[in-house]
Structure 1
Amino acid sequence: MTGLLIRDARRVPIAVPDPTTAEPVDVLVEDGTITEVGPALRRPPGVEEHDAAGRWVMPGLWDTHVHLGQWTLARGRLDTSEVRSPEEAVRLVTAKVAEQPGRPVIGWGHRPGTWSREPTTSDLDDAAGVTPVVLIAGDAHHAWLNRAAQAALGLPLREGVVAETEWFEAYERLTALTDTGDDPASYRRTLGDAAALGVVGLVDFEFTGGVHAWRERWSEGCDRLRVEVAVYADQLEPVLAEGLRTGDPLLPGEARLTMGPLKVISDGSLNTRTAWCHHPYATGAEPSQPAGAPNLAPAELTRLVGRAHAAGLEVATHAIGDAAVGAALTAYEGTGAGGSLEHVQLVTRGDVERMARRGLRASVQPHHLVDDRDLTEQVWPDRTDRCFAFRWLLDAGVPVSFGSDAPVSPLDPWLAIDAAVRRTGDDRPAWHGEQALTRREALAASVDGHLTVQPGAPGDLVVLDDDPLTAVRPGVALTVVAGAVVHRA
């Protein structure tokens, strides 16, 4: 017998207020599932016991949109998140090159959408000369490279940034410039950090590696959390040939590592003004694409969604602009596919209703509203009331799940919850507070649909030092996955 008995814990009433949860109970997990909840439970032989001492217990947290490889690599990359101009970036790169002569510089985090001028290749050439420099923007949809890096990655030389599909294809070649930093030990540290925040599971949307990489990684000790592995179109055929369907174990008998959805990137991002909208951007868009543009023609989007659906895969479609959301919904409606729309950053009320009718999940990243608030006011000043419309979605009956899109935002569910509730990340008033959620609603969007600690529920639990319905960042005393302790404070 394997399992865990948590004694003297108060259940968090996530679904609805419930005064009966105030009394401490014991929670028994056996073979990965909660089997009993009640006072003074008998401890079966061989079952570990943990005294919660009156702390709070709730279902474990999920991050339903992570690029785990990039988040892991971010530890070793130059942090450009505080850079506010090309000149600041040049100074940062110049110092890094002087500190480590000849070593390629990979950076992450800057958001040039609000800069007073566009960055140029020559800026980085002047800073680094023949040392390759790749500065990846915080939205992950484009990168700023010098000529040495462009040549090393096999890209045509140009004076501007590398964006969207061209950048996604080049990203995998970054290993030619530097040690990858995504070795098993690095992954184990990343997963451990997530467990320390109360995270029990995640959906990995990393661009490279996919199913094969996770099978190898799992056997090398990266098995701390539940992981759903997404697949992209260029990796789809081997998955279909293997007959994998969403939810299938990727290793025999291992329910914690499963097949996730097909990921489709249907439009661009706000920072690059490539998110596809019904109306033109107020400023900064390419003259040839004043309202952004789709990454896939509607017919190709429908074909891809339909192919995945016919094979038993859910579909997760990146759709930031309102036109992209509408086109994705048309593809789902035409094929009968299920799954999620990722981001849903700008949406119409009509499309919210369409999502509800189809039963599609809105997989959203609340902390993006903190990052994108100022830029949105510049480029979409006439539609900010339709951005990050969490209240509309929830009130319409659309299932909502929270994620980080790490490393675009930190892999930290408490940040996401706070952003959804307060709608601000500083001392300014809430940004469109009419779209705010309550803490109870935000917690419910963070637990993969498991709202109560009850018999039959997965043995994925977190024990907290404080009540998460009132504490912004409760201390995490214990994180449990399938009945096994993966973090203990």
Structure 2
Amino acid sequence: MSVPRLVVRNCEVGGRSGLDVVVEGDRVATVSRPPERASPSAEVDIDAGGGALLPGLHDHHLHLFAEAARRSSVSCGPPDVVDQASLARVLRATGRGLRPGEWLRGVAYDSRRAGPLDRTRLDAAVQDRPVRVKDRTGLSWTLNTEGLRVTGLESRFADGVLIGEDRLLQEVAPAARPDLGGVATTLCRYGITGVTDTTPANTAADLEHMRSVAVRARAMAGPEEPEVPGVTLRTLKLVLREDDADVEDAATTIEKAHDAGWSVAVHAVTRAETVAAVAAFAQAGTSAGDRVEHASVLPAETVPVIADLGLTIVTHPDFVARRGDVYLADADPADRECLYRLRTLLDAGVALGAGSDAPVGDLDPWSAMRAAVSRTGPDEIVLGAVERLSPEQALRLFLGPAAHPGGPVRAVRRGALADLCLLHEPWAAARRRVDADLVRATIVGGDVAWEA
């Protein structure tokens, strides 16, 4: 008889304490109480000390390569950059350490705090090397004149602003694909065993590279890209923008994707965008796996329509904790009660999942869970108390399958993939503080990927 790969002893599973979980290969072989069935010795033996053993968490919306690149880029957002003078100071300081002609890459620029950005303003900061700065939403780049010159884009983008042109920029200014190892380590430290990369410009080569990460990566890519088995999520990413959201065009795109056997994920942030997204799905019809990403401002009248259509919402509770003060200051008063809805959607029977939206947001899912429970932002500002969830509901936002966020919760049971998150404490204690330091070990496919 072969020796099991892993045994986690004396753990809590689904509220039942004192259990042993045996893993053989990449699957859970048994979940039992020792007096009922003595657990064999194993290659790896972990005494859980009564800690809860959960299914591994899944981040349903992030951007792996952008998060990896952020770690080697200069932060151009608050508190480092709050105006044009601080932008110039940060960029010049970083530029002094680079080789002549080397690109200077900035991220997280917040135009609401530091003012609009174009090539002229970037030129005022740095002229002697190519510079590109991504805005905080991750949707647009701004290049200085030197950056436009070396890419040959000056005639096409006179103001230096490129919206939704990540693939073009990669073609004209190729950059080495950033290493994902550091990102994977962080994910494992948080108990995350799977992610969904929702970058619309992903290529088949990008998806192949995602195989190397220590977590299970699924990713969206265009239907024109060759599918990568085990990675490609047959979901088309469609980005709506308030200034040119066309319901007819969006509905046509959705219909074509459905005809090809693909589901559709629509990026919609503002009120106008979410209303247009729902209207487009209502016109085109829905298919299993269809979802709205972000749904940052979701008017009450759209909720029953979303429920009737069977749409999934993937949202970001942590944005309330990190930006609640900004939302209160900048959002239209009519939109404040519509921000990042949670309980309203669950009560209506809408499938609801959550993601970090890294690098726009932080990878920490436990912070997002706390925000979903408290709805508390900076300076203890409460934003949308009626949307508060219980700790169990908040946890479930990260326990749905990759292809069905908010769907049936994955469980630690015989035959399930051995993607697991072991906590230091039983859930009854953990639910009182919901913090990343609760994670004791992360197991992916039966292998211990991280241990405290």
Determine if the alignment matches structure 1 residue 396 to structure 2 residue 352.
no
Determine if the alignment matches structure 1 residue 28 to structure 2 residue 5.
no
Tell me the CA shift for residue 215 of structure 1.
Answer: 2.4
Aligned to 1:469: 431
**Equivalent residues in 2 for 1:19-418 (5 A)?**
21=15, 23-40=17-34, 41-43=37-39, 48-81=44-77, 82=79, 83-100=81-98, 102=100, 103-115=102-114, 117-156=115-154, 160=159, 162-165=161-164, 167-173=165-171, 175-176=173-174, 179-182=175-178, 186-218=179-211, 222-231=212-221, 235-239=222-226, 250-251=228-229, 257-267=231-241, 276=242, 292-294=243-245, 297-333=246-282, 334-338=284-288, 339-377=290-328, 378-418=330-370
Tell me the CA shift for residue 84 of structure 1.
Answer: 1.1
Alpha carbons of structure 1 residues 475 and 336: separation in structure 2 relative to 1, 3 Å: closer
Instruction: Indicate the SS of the match to 1:203.
Output: strand
Alpha carbons of structure 1 residues 375 and 171: separation in structure 2 relative to 1, 3 Å: farther
Instruction: Indicate the SS of the match to 1:106.
Output: strand
Tell me the CA shift for residue 125 of structure 1.
Answer: 1.5
Q: Please point out which of 4, 7, 16 is paired with 1:5.
A: 7
Counterpart residue identity of residue 279, structure 2: T
Aligned to 2:417: 458
Instruction: Indicate the SS of the match to 1:305.
Output: helix
Alpha carbons of structure 1 residues 141 and 375: separation in structure 2 relative to 1, 3 Å: farther
**Equivalent residues in 2 for 1:426-441 (5 A)?**
426-441=378-393
- Distance in 2 between the 1:382 and 1:336 partners? 29
Instruction: Indicate the SS of the match to 2:109.
Output: coil
Tell me the CA shift for residue 372 of structure 1.
Answer: 4.2
Alpha carbons of structure 1 residues 347 and 161: separation in structure 2 relative to 1, 3 Å: farther
| Structure 1, unaligned runs of 5 or more | 14-20, 245-249, 268-275, 277-291
Deviations 1:251-300 (A, max 9, x none): 4xxx5x45341111122xxxxxxxx3xxxxxxxxxxxxxxx431xx3233
Tell me the CA shift for residue 97 of structure 1.
Answer: 2.0
- Distance in 1 between the 2:313 and 2:116 partners? 33
* CA contact 1:135–1:143 (8 Å) conserved in 2: yes
TM-score (norm 2): 0.87
Counterpart residue identity of residue 374, structure 2: R
- Distance in 2 between the 1:395 and 1:110 partners? 36
Instruction: Indicate the SS of the match to 2:353.
Output: strand
Instruction: Indicate the SS of the match to 2:223.
Output: helix
Instruction: Indicate the SS of the match to 1:336.
Output: coil
Counterpart residue identity of residue 376, structure 2: T
Tell me the CA shift for residue 73 of structure 1.
Answer: 0.9
Deviations 1:346-384 (A, max 9, x none): 112221111212222110112223454344332422221
Give the total of aligned pairs.
430
Deviations 1:98-150 (A, max 9, x none): 333523210111211234x4334333223222211111111112233211112
Alpha carbons of structure 1 residues 28 and 215: separation in structure 2 relative to 1, 3 Å: same
- Distance in 1 between the 2:340 and 2:144 partners? 35
- Distance in 1 between the 2:439 and 2:41 partners? 27
- Distance in 2 between the 1:429 and 1:217 partners? 39
Counterpart residue identity of residue 206, structure 2: A
Tell me the CA shift for residue 451 of structure 1.
Answer: 5.0
Aligned to 1:270: none
- Distance in 2 between the 1:225 and 1:455 partners? 21
Tell me the CA shift for residue 65 of structure 1.
Answer: 0.5
* CA contact 1:230–1:260 (8 Å) conserved in 2: yes
TM-score (norm 1): 0.81
Alpha carbons of structure 1 residues 171 and 381: separation in structure 2 relative to 1, 3 Å: farther
Instruction: Indicate the SS of the match to 2:12.
Output: strand
Provide the identity percentage: 24
